[in-house]
Amino acid sequence: MLPSAAQDLPAIPFVAEDTHLGVASCAGSSCHGALEPWTNSTVLQNEYIIWEEQDPHSGAYKTLLTDESQRIANNLGLGRAEEADLCLDCHADNVPVERRAKGFQISDGVGCEACHGGAVNWLGQHISGDANHKANLAAGLYPSENPVARAKLCLSCHFGTEDRFVTHRIMGAGHPRMAFELDTYTWTQPAHVVVDDDYWARKGTIPSVQVWALGQVVAVDSLLDAMLDPNRNTDGIFPELVFFDCYACHHPLSNIRWAPRDSHEIGPGIPRIYDANIIMMRVLLQRIDPALADIVSIKSKALHQASLQGYDAVIDAARGLKDATEGIISRLASHSFTAADTKALLAGILTEGLSGEYVDYAAAEQATMAASAMLQTMADDDMISRAKYMELSAVLDDCYTVIEKDESYNPRQFLAALQKLQSAIQSL
Ligand code: HEC
Ligand code: HEC
Ligand code: HEC
Ligand code: HEC
C-alpha cells in the first residue's frame, strides 16, 4: 500500500473542524496510558507515558512559562507568553474555544489530538474495538502514517503555515532557529510506535529514504508558499529573513568561509536564499527524473539570482520553481524506492558535498540527516549487514560532530568527514 495523492489529504488537526477532547481522554490505563507496553496488542498502549516522560511536545506549553520565553514575549511586546496566541498556536493544541470539550486543557501542550486529530467523532468507535484504522480515518483520525500528511503536519509547526509562522523578528527576539528533517525527527521525537511486520501489514511499508524524500519536497513547497504569501514575505522594507541562510549573516567575523558554488552566482558579502532543502530535492530528482532535475537547477539558480533584483523578481522565480515541481509530491509518494535508488541517492548526497555545495551550515546539517536515513534504509532492507551498518554509522558520526555547533561550523572539516564516508561506502 502506498500513500495517497497529496491533494486527497485531510486538513491538519489545527484547522480541521472536529472538537478536541483533551489528552486525559486518551491516557486511561486501559487505553494509551499503560505503564509498560502490552504484549498482546498491535500498538504499544504506553504512548501516553512515552509522550509525557520523553517527548518534548508534552512540555511545549511549560516552555512558555520559562524566563527565556518571557524574554521573547517582552521583546515582542506580547505580555505573558503563555497567554499569547502567537506562542500557543505551536506550543499547545490551540484550537478555538468552541472546538474544546470539557476535559480539554491548554496546559497539556502539543497533545495527542494536535497530531492525531480531534477525537470527538472517532473516539467512541475506536474504544469499542469494532472499528479498524480505515473507519477511524473516515471519522477524522489524521493519517500520520502517511509521510506526506506527516510532513505537512510537522512542518506546520516546525516551519509554519499562513496561520502560524516563526518570522525572523520572532527569532531576533530570541526564538531558536528551526531545523527539520522528517525521518530523523520522527525517530528523535521519540516515536511511540514500533515499526515491525505487524505495523507494515496494517499501515504499509514506507522506507526511511521515502520518508526523507517526501519531507524534502514538502519542505521546499512550504518555503515557496511562504515566499509567495504577501502576509509573510516581507517585513517593512526588508524581505522576510528566514528565507535566507541564517549563517550568511550570523557567524563570527574571524571565521571566513565564503566560497563560490555551482548552484548560484551570488557573490561574497550578499545574503543567500536558504536552499538546503532545494539541494536535497535536486539530488533526489537527479535519480528519479534527471530531466526535471536539470529544470530545477535552472529554476533554483534563477531564484537565487532574483534575490539580487527585488521582490517581484523573487516572487516570479518562486512561482517558476513551484510550477516546475507541480505534482512531484504525488509522484514521489507513489514511487517504489529500490535498493539501487537508495545507493544512488547516498552517492548523490556525497557528490554534491564534495563539489562544494555544503559551504553553508544548514546544507551540511540536511546532508548528514539524509545520509542517516539512507543508511537506515539499507539496514532495514538487508542491503547491508548489521555490522556494516554500525561501521558506517560510526563514520557518519564524524559528520554529526562537525555540525554539532552551528556557529563554529567549518566547511573544510565537513568535506574531510564526507571524504571518509565516501571511501567507506566505496565497497558497497
Ligand atoms: C502543534 C505544533 C507542533 C506539531 C504539529 C509538531 N511539533 Fe514537534 N515541536 C513543537 C514544539 C513547540 C517543540 C519544542 C518543544 C519545547 O521544547 O518546548 C517541538 C519539538 C520537537 C522535537 C525536538 C526538537 C529538538 O531540537 O530537541 C522533535 C524531534 C519534534 N518536535 C518532532 C516532530 C515531528 C516528527 C512532528 C510531526 C509528526 C512534530 N514534531 C509535530 C511543535 C510541534
Ligand atoms: C510556528 C510555530 C511556532 C511558534 C509560532 C512559536 N514557536 Fe517556539 N518553538 C517551535 C518549535 C518547532 C520549537 C523547537 C525548535 C527545535 O528545537 O527544533 C520551538 C522552540 C521554542 C523554544 C526553545 C525550547 C527549548 O526546549 O529549548 C522556546 C523558548 C520557544 N520556542 C518559545 C516561543 C515563544 C515565547 C513563542 C511566541 C512568541 C513561540 N515559541 C512561538 C515552534 C513555534
Ligand atoms: C507530534 C505529533 C504526535 C503527538 C503529539 C502524538 N503522536 Fe501518536 N503518532 C505520531 C506519529 C508520527 C505516529 C507514527 C505514524 C503512525 O503510525 O500514525 C504516531 C503513532 C501513534 C499510534 C499508532 C501506533 C501503531 O502502531 O499504529 C498511536 C496509538 C499513537 N500515536 C497514540 C498517541 C497518543 C495516545 C498520544 C498522546 C499521549 C500521541 N500519540 C501523541 C505523532 C504524534
Ligand atoms: C540578511 C541577514 C540576516 C539573515 C539571513 C538572518 N539574520 Fe538574524 N539578524 C540579522 C540582523 C541585522 C539582526 C539584528 C542584530 C542586532 O540587533 O544586533 C539579527 C538578529 C538575530 C537574532 C538576535 C540577535 C541578538 O543579538 O539579539 C537572532 C537570534 C537571529 N537573528 C537569528 C537568525 C536566524 C535563526 C536566521 C535564519 C533563519 C537569521 N537570523 C537570518 C540579520 C540576519
**CB of residue 92 inside a 6 A radius of ligand 2:** no
Task: Enumerate residues lining ligand 4, CB below 6 A.
Answer: 168, 171-172, 177, 241-242, 244, 246, 248-250, 271
361: pLDDT strictly greater than 90: yes
Name the E strands within 197-268: 234-235, 238-239
If asked whether residues 110 and 217 sit together in one domain, one would say no
If asked whether residues 216 and 329 sit together in one domain, one would say yes
The pTM (predicted TM-score) of the whole model is: 0.97
Residue 2 pLDDT class (50, 70, 90 cuts): very low
Residue 1 pLDDT class (50, 70, 90 cuts): very low
**CB of residue 153 inside a 6 A radius of ligand 1:** yes
Find the 143 Cα to ligand 3 centroid distance in Å.
10
The DSSP symbol for 35 reads S
Give the integer Cα–Cα distance in Å for 277 and 186: 17
Residue 83 pLDDT class (50, 70, 90 cuts): very high
Find the 171 Cα to ligand 4 centroid distance in Å.
7
Find the 63 Cα to ligand 4 centroid distance in Å.
22
**CB of residue 20 inside a 6 A radius of ligand 1:** no
Ligand closest to Cα of 151 equals 1
Number of domains in the chain: 2
Q: What is the pLDDT of residue 203?
A: 85
**CB of residue 160 inside a 6 A radius of ligand 2:** yes
If asked whether residues 272 and 418 sit together in one domain, one would say yes
pLDDT (tens digit per residue) in 344-358: 999 999 999 999 999
Residue 3 pLDDT class (50, 70, 90 cuts): very low
162 within domain boundaries: no
**CB of residue 91 inside a 6 A radius of ligand 1:** yes
Decide which of 97, 123, 141 is a domain's last residue: 141
Do residues 110 and 58 lie in contact, with contact meaning Cβ atoms separated by under 8 Å?
A: yes
Atom of ligand 2 nearest to the CA of 179: 18
The residue contributing the CA closest to ligand 3 atom 22 is 193
Give the integer Cα–Cα distance in Å for 180 and 154: 9
Residue 205 pLDDT class (50, 70, 90 cuts): confident
Ligand closest to Cα of 198 equals 3
If asked whether residues 411 and 285 sit together in one domain, one would say yes
If asked whether residues 400 and 308 sit together in one domain, one would say yes
Q: How far is CA 232 from CA 154, 166, 242, 278, in A?
A: 19, 10, 10, 20
What is the CB neighbour count within 10 angstroms for residue 70?
A: 17
**CB of residue 150 inside a 6 A radius of ligand 1:** yes
267 within domain boundaries: yes
Please give the mean pLDDT across all residues of the chain: 93
pLDDT (tens digit per residue) in 25-77: 999 888 898 888 888 788 888 999 999 999 999 999 999 999 999 999 999 99
Q: Which of 1-10, 161-170, 285-294, 379-388 has the lowest mean pLDDT?
A: 1-10
The residue contributing the CA closest to ligand 3 atom 2 is 115
196 within domain boundaries: no
Q: What is the pLDDT of residue 399?
A: 97
If asked whether residues 262 and 364 sit together in one domain, one would say yes
Range of the domain at 421: 208-425
Q: What is the pLDDT of residue 7?
A: 61
If asked whether residues 220 and 363 sit together in one domain, one would say yes
211: pLDDT strictly greater than 60: yes
178 within domain boundaries: no
Atom of ligand 2 nearest to the CA of 170: 38
pLDDT (tens digit per residue) in 285-302: 999 999 999 999 999 999
Find the 17 Cα to ligand 3 centroid distance in Å.
20
Mutational test site, ligand 2, from 14, 76, 175, max ligand atoms within 8 Å of CB: 175
pLDDT (tens digit per residue) in 321-340: 999 999 999 999 999 999 99
196: pLDDT strictly greater than 50: yes
If asked whether residues 252 and 389 sit together in one domain, one would say yes
Give the integer Cα–Cα distance in Å for 6 and 329: 7
Average pLDDT over residues 263-290: 95
Residue in 106, 68, 71, 72 with CA at minimum distance from that of residue 90: 106
Atom of ligand 3 nearest to the CA of 186: 12
Q: What is the pLDDT of residue 256?
A: 84
Q: Which residue type does 324 have?
A: A
- Which residues, 6+ apart, have CB-to-CB distance to 254 below 8 Å? none
The residue contributing the CA closest to ligand 4 atom 37 is 246
If asked whether residues 244 and 390 sit together in one domain, one would say yes
151 within domain boundaries: no
Find the 1 Cα to ligand 1 centroid distance in Å.
28
294 within domain boundaries: yes
Do residues 370 and 273 lie in contact, with contact meaning Cβ atoms separated by under 8 Å?
A: no
CA 133 to chain centre: 25
Q: Is the CA virtual torsion 199, 200, 206, 207 positive or negative?
A: positive
Name the strand (E) or helix (H) holding 173: none
Q: What is the pLDDT of residue 29?
A: 82
284: pLDDT strictly greater than 80: yes
Decide which of 141, 164, 193 is a domain's last residue: 141
Residue 427 pLDDT class (50, 70, 90 cuts): confident
The residue contributing the CA closest to ligand 4 atom 38 is 242
Ligand closest to Cα of 51 equals 3
The residue contributing the CA closest to ligand 1 atom 16 is 60
346 within domain boundaries: yes
If asked whether residues 134 and 235 sit together in one domain, one would say no
pLDDT (tens digit per residue) in 213-263: 999 999 999 999 999 999 999 998 889 999 999 998 998 888 888 889 999
Find the 262 Cα to ligand 1 centroid distance in Å.
34
- Choice between 7 and 61, residue whose per-residue pLDDT is larger: 61
The residue contributing the CA closest to ligand 4 atom 30 is 172
Do residues 263 and 301 lie in contact, with contact meaning Cβ atoms separated by under 8 Å?
A: yes
**CB of residue 114 inside a 6 A radius of ligand 3:** yes
How many percent of the chain have pLDDT more than 70? 98
Decide which of 93, 123, 141 is a domain's last residue: 141
If asked whether residues 238 and 348 sit together in one domain, one would say yes
115 within domain boundaries: yes
Give the integer Cα–Cα distance in Å for 4 and 210: 14
310: pLDDT strictly greater than 60: yes
How many percent of the chain have pLDDT more than 90? 81
95: pLDDT strictly greater than 90: yes
- Which residues, 6+ apart, have CB-to-CB distance to 263 below 8 Å? 275, 279, 282, 297, 300, 301, 304, 357
If asked whether residues 212 and 327 sit together in one domain, one would say yes
Give the integer Cα–Cα distance in Å for 210 and 92: 29
The residue contributing the CA closest to ligand 3 atom 32 is 47
